């Protein structure tokens, strides 16, 4: 039974400045550090993904960010047999990361949750680079929204702390599953979308639909002034949460 509709704007005690997560997608650790230095106080939370992991020095960078009081989101989408995923999450103990992404069935998510040790486990629902046509090509008999809701419901019942979801599904997630979990929305496009992300929303829409955090990468990284682009997004978030 869907919950009664109210304001979907997040009421969690998260500093507004930390609701922006910058996707530190670069194949070079030195370039990653340069970007962090360039962004300065405009960004407080960083997502470290697979490309950066393959560059080497991933955990050294995690320590480096911790030393600068930055928050970290390990976005490696752990997906393997449950025992291996449990071991991978266990390896993060003491690394002071905040979030980690896990993908897969109930057994995989359960294994991750048993080893979280203060980490917040975020279940991947459907990648924002996929749309309904892709779902059909992959053999799914439901659309992206139905699959997101199904996977999110199971993940929360298992004990995950939240989900990764397109902003297009955030509204239904809030209406049907409530407030007591995190929604992290990637693929934010402050202007018209011209890249490989298909299910996108802008900054204001993401939060109005129920997001707790947004992940922004290329619109900041590729801007002529990345720090200004990040500050502009911070200002837009301030207006949303002050209204």
How many angstroms separate the CA atoms of 51 and 225, rounded?
A: 23
Q: Is 47 a catalytic residue?
A: no
pLDDT band at residue 201 using 50, 70 and 90 as cut-offs: confident
pTM: 0.88
Cα-based distances in Å from 178 to 33, 38, 79, 210, 229? 38, 38, 27, 10, 32
In 42-55, which positions are buried (b, 16+ CB within 10 angstroms) versus exposed (e)?
A: bbbbbbbbeebeeb
16-242: which CATH architecture? Alpha-Beta Barrel (3.20)
- Domain ranges for the chain, please list them: 16-242
pLDDT for the residue 128:
53
80-92 pLDDT, tens digit per residue, is 999 999 999 999 9
Active site residue: 71, 77, 114, 120, which one? 77
Tens of pLDDT, residues 22-46: 999 999 999 999 999 999 999 999 9
Q: Which residues pair with 183 in a beta bridge?
A: 163
Q: Give 68-71 contacts, CB < 8 A, sequence gap 24+.
A: 68/36, 69/44, 70/36, 70/43, 70/44, 70/45, 70/46, 71/18, 71/44, 71/45, 71/46, 71/98
């Amino acid at each position: 039974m869907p919950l009664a509709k109210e304001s979907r704007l997040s009421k969690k005690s998260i500093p507004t400045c930390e609701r922006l997560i910058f996707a530190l997608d670069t194949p070079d650790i030195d370039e990653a550090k340069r970007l962090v230095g360039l962004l300065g106080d405009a960004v407080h939370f960083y997502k470290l993904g697979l490309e950066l992991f393959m560059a080497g020095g991933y955990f050294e960078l995690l320590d480096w960010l911790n030393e600068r009081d930055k928050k970290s989101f390990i976005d490696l989408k752990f997906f393997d047999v449950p025992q291996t995923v449990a071991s991978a999450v266990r390896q993060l103990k003491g690394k002071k990361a905040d979030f980690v992404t896990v993908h897969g069935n109930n057994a995989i998510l359960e294994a991750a949750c048993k080893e979280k040790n203060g980490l917040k486990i975020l279940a991947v629902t459907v990648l924002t680079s996929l749309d309904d046509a892709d779902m059909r090509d992959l053999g799914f008999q439901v659309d992206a929204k139905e699959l997101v809701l199904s996977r999110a419901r199971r993940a929360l019942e298992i004990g995950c702390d939240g989900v990764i979801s397109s902003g297009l599904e955030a509204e239904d997630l809030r209406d049907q599953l409530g407030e007591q979990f995190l929604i992290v929305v990637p693929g934010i496009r402050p202007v018209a979308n011209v890249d490989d992300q298909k299910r996108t929303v802008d900054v204001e829409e993401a939060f109005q639909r129920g997001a707790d955090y947004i992940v922004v990468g290329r619109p900041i990284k590729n801007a002529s002034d990345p720090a200004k682009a990040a500050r502009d997004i911070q200002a837009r978030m301030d207006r949303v949460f002050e209204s």
